[in-house]
Amino acid sequence: MTHSATCYAYDPIEQQHNQIGHVENNRRTTRAMALLSERGLLDQMMQASIKPIAPEALQRIHSPEYISRIAAFAAAGGGMLDFETYMTPASYEAALMSAGAALAVTRAVVKGRARNGISIMRPPGHHALPAEAMGFCIFANAALAARFAQQEMGLARVLIIDWDVHHGNGSEAIFYDDPTVAFVSLHQSPLWPGTGAVGDIGVGPGKGFTMNIPMPPGAGDAGYLRAFDELIAPFARRFQPQLIIISSGYDAHWRDPLSQMSLSLQGYIELARRARLLAEALCDGRLVVLLEGGYDLGAVSYGVLDTALALMGRESKAEDPFGPAPSPETDVSDRIAEIKRLHRL
């Protein structure tokens, strides 16, 4: 396999993690996969072979008691873990496979079998805590992939960039005191889960290695791209990651039912293109994209398609059937200046 290839990971077990009427349902991924297939992209990407995450890899982040509780909950038929996070009898297996997919893409990219890659699996992971499910998330896929890259692939420094519209509280909490995994979250504020303030920058040896970029409702393509160019890129250059992991939620799109952001697909295409170029400049192209949220079926499926094209360097073929946000964008200059000062960028 050529080093220039983009890989993807998918397993149909995720379809059995489903609840009719819930926004985080299996049509998100089946639509995205259908679109990738219709456009012929599945034949042009290398498919990473995936298996469920091994218990020892899972225990790098999650407590044995929590893992047993999740397994037992599924075995007992599933139900609601909290007021919004559901499990079916197959959800434990699906969550193990979703984490396994994140590791498989990471392995392919770090070993150089693929240049970069995308996991199109669910349940998502960025809200999951070491001993608690949260926000539709069961296991912390991005954090597990970062630890896997360090402990099994020998990398020292990993950067996680989270552009899901919700704050990536789980990833932040896991690495808050850790200077070896830097974490950046772009998110709408105010919005659930309410964490991710500008002043939350890490603690102890991890101080300065967390960067929160809360955006006001209505921020859109211009604001997000300024945040990428003026905050994320210099933060990444200073950190010098050996791998970049993206927690890619498509719920900042203006059509999303859970948020009030004004990103368009064009904005997501530009974010993905910039992430690819940043990885090429800093870490030999090593870039792993993991699906997180995104609850408008059109936005999430075209978002995945366009991200895959951007990873392949074919963003000129990307598609935006929905166009720009119908309302003008909120200006974010003051917010960007504030974060720049705080992080001395």
CB of 165 to Zn ion, least distance (A): 5
Closest CB 164 distance from Zn ion, rounded Å: 4
Best CA proximity match to 336, nearest among 231, 229, 235: 231
Q: Which of 126, 127, 167, 187 is catalytic?
A: 127
Between residues 100 and 249, which has the closer beta carbon with respect to Zn ion? 249
Least Å distance, CB 258 to Zn ion, is: 7
293 binds Zn ion (CB under 5 A): yes
Phi, psi at residue 20, to the nearest 5°?
Answer: -60, 135
178 versus 296: smaller Cβ distance to Zn ion: 296
Cβ 127 to Zn ion, closest distance in Å? Answer: 8
Q: Note if 187 is an active site residue.
A: no
How many Cβ atoms sit within 10 Å of the Cβ of residue 49? 11
Task: Pick one of 170, 220, 249, 267: the residue that binds Zn ion (CB under 5 A).
Answer: 249
H or E stretch including 211?
strand 210-215
- Contact call for residue 28 and Zn ion (CB under 5 A): no
Nearer to Zn ion, 175 or 295 (CB): 295
73's tokens: 């909950």
Cβ of residue 326: shortest distance to Zn ion, in angstroms? 21
Q: Is residue 164 within the footprint of Zn ion (CB under 5 A)?
A: yes
Sheet holding 158-162, edge to edge: 46-47, 6-9, 116-119, 287-291, 243-248, 158-162, 181-188, 210-215
One of 251, 256, 270, 329 touching Zn ion (CB under 5 A): 251
Near Zn ion by CB under 5 A: residue from 28, 115, 147, 166: 166
What is each CA distance from 165 to 137, 175, 258, in whole angstroms? 15, 20, 9
Name the residue whose CB lies closest to Zn ion.
Answer: 293
Q: Which is nearer to Zn ion, 168 or 206 (CB)?
A: 168
Give the separation between CA 288 and CA 74, rounded to whole angstroms. Answer: 29
- Closest of 171, 23, 203 to residue 102, by C-alpha: 171
d(CA 180, CA 239): 9
Catalytic (active-site) positions:
127
Contact residues: Zn ion, CB under 5 A: 164, 166, 249, 251, 293
